[in-house]
Amino acid sequence: MLTTPGNIRKLQRKLYRKAKQEPACRFHALYDKVYRADILSHAYALVRANKGSAGIDGVTFAAIEEREGVSALIAELEEALRSKTYKPDPVKRVMIPKADGSQRPLGIPTIRDRVAQMAVKLVVEPIFEADFCDTSYGFRPKKSAHDAVDDVAYAMNIGYTEVIDADISKYFDTIPHTNLMAVVAERICDGAILHLIQMWLKSSVMEVGKDGKKRNVGGGKGNRRGTPQGGVISPLLANLYLHILDRIWERRNLQQRLNARIVRYADDTVLLCRRNKSDEAMAVLRQILERLGLTLNEAKTKVVNGYKGGFDFLGFSIRMGKSRRTGNYYPHVQPSKKSLQVIKDRVTKLTNRVRTVRPLAWVVNEVNATVRGWVGYFHYRNCSKTMTRLKSHVEERLRTHLRKRHKVRERKAGYVLFPIGTLYKSVPCTRCRRQRAGQMRMPRGE
């Protein structure tokens, strides 16, 4: 995690305090902050740390640093922004496969555009952060998915056990530009900043075909909806637009009136209601979303009784469980079956037979890094059984990989040749499940 330089942090604090103290204040002198050299340098460092791929121009971080250099890129971008000659490049479309077999479009701006977007984000985010509600957790400083899960668990624990698991249909692709810019303009009246955001929203979208040719597949000046997933500024804008939902819920005191608490992480939204109160809350939610130009995905939106079933939220499965020790009900939170299957499939792929030609150290390190990242997020609350299942799968897959590598046909022989002790380093007894799930080693003799 990169530390924000003191002078930038000082500016952000001033903007936040001003916005917090004066809810009706509109900021008009921000553009000159965006092209400050220190802000652009920190913006590049943040974009570099995200390790994203190249945009439509094919220019990578390595190419920038080997050819023109970072200083030259920042100087060129600073001059373009200062003289207001900056024009964004088209966004590169990449299709990401989803678990259900469909594909999700991802829009990747060029590195130059991502740096410009990050610079704007550094300046305007503190202003909007002062307005966001406490029940919003997505893409916010010092907020996390675990905080959102804790909020859901707390609400269920105090009686909000009837849950509306809401899914907004194609949210990022359907945000109306006019409405979104109106929300931005409530706080920012700097025309140059608004123009930058408008240009990014109107950027054309291109994809590279199998023949290597670039084709325009959307976007442009005629585009009226959507902000491409993959852009640096997109999560903030998407969160800002759904802030209207949070604001209505808070200002109209709907939690008390409807007995329904809202918890939102970007477009992942749940409404937690007291018993037999979900119908009215659902009707109000539909009405608000309709006014925003959004719709619910009817196939994925559902109402769940926490005592009779569970629901998935941010990769976790949540339900009301009954304690064997006390007999009391409590919010049971564990990694979802889908999340577990994803990491198991990934480990299976990394230890596939075709990878026996690679050095064993490479295979083990890749598995360790993959599992360690997953465990770092999902080792939370009631995860012990899931971690045990993952641990067993990792052990079995490594043992199978070693049998293929050494041409050992019989499974029983694999247990003799590669026992548990050879698969792990010595680890402390505390939290051994977590350690063992992500700390394999090469057997001796390799």
Which has the higher per-residue pLDDT, 53 or 285?
285
Position 99 pLDDT exceeds 70: no
Question: Mean pLDDT across the stretch 230-249?
Answer: 94
Any domain includes 348? yes
Buried b (16+ CB within 10 A) or exposed e, 309-339: ebbbbbbbbbbbbeeeeeeebebbbbbbeeb
**What is the pTM (predicted TM-score) of this model?**
0.88
Mean pLDDT for the chain? 90
pLDDT of 19 higher than 60: yes
Q: In this structure, is residue 15 part of a structural domain? A: no
* Separation CA 152–CA 316 (nearest Å): 11
**Top-confidence range, 145-154, 166-175, 391-400:** 145-154
Asked whether residue 435 carries a pLDDT value surpassing 70, the answer given is: no
Is 111 in contact with 229 (CB distance < 8 Å)?
A: no
Comparing 11-15, 161-165, 219-223, 441-445, the range with the smallest average pLDDT is: 441-445
Given pLDDT bands bounded at 50, 70 and 90, which one contains residue 197?
Answer: very high
Q: What is the pLDDT of residues 313-349, one digit of tens each?
A: 999 999 999 999 999 999 999 999 999 999 999 999 9
Do the domain assignments include residue 387?
yes
N residues, the chain: 446
- Is 260 within the bounds of a domain? no
Q: Enter the tokens of residue 277.
A: 């109160």
At 276 the pLDDT is: 81
- Which has the higher per-residue pLDDT, 71 or 361? 71
Within a domain: 248: no
Residue 440 has a pLDDT of 55
List b or e across 266-290, with b for residues whose CB sees 16 or more CB atoms inside 10 angstroms.
bbbbbbbbbeebbeebbebbeebbe
Q: Which residues, other chains included, contact 217 with Cβ-Cβ below 8 Å and sequence gap of 6+?
A: 93, 205, 206, 207
What was the pLDDT predicted at 428? 30
Section 233-245 average pLDDT: 95
pLDDT at position 437 is 46
- How many separate domains does the chain show? 1
* Residue 438 predicted with pLDDT over 90: no
What pLDDT band is residue 216 in, cutting at 50, 70 and 90?
Answer: confident
Is 280 a residue whose pLDDT tops 90?
A: yes
Q: What is the pLDDT of residue 427?
A: 29
Residue 168 CB burial class (10 angstroms; 0-12, 13-18, ≥19): buried
Q: In terms of pLDDT, which residue wins out, 445 or 58?
A: 58
165 within 8 A of 311, measured Cβ to Cβ: yes
On whether residue 239 sits in a domain, the answer given is no
Dihedral of CA atoms 103, 370, 57, 119 in degrees, nearest 10, equals 100
Alpha-carbon distance values, 411 to 189, 400, 408, 415, 419 (Å): 69, 8, 8, 7, 12
Q: Looking at the domain assignment, is residue 122 inside a domain? A: no
- Position 430 scores a pLDDT of 30
Distance between CA atoms of residues 161 and 331, nearest Å? 9
Q: Inform me whether the pLDDT recorded for 419 exceeds 90.
A: no
Question: For a pLDDT cut of 70, what percent of the chain falls above it?
Answer: 94
- Residue that is written with structure tokens 């949070």 in the block: 246
Q: C-alpha angle with apex 15: 244 to 47, nearest 5 degrees?
A: 80
Any domain includes 236: no
pLDDT at position 318: 97
What whole-number distance in Å separates Cα of residue 144 and Cα of residue 429? Answer: 29
Q: Provide the domain limits for residue 401.
A: 336-426
Asked if the model's pLDDT at residue 230 lies above 70, the reply is yes
Query: What count of other Cβ atoms lies within 10 Å of the Cβ of residue 407?
Result: 7
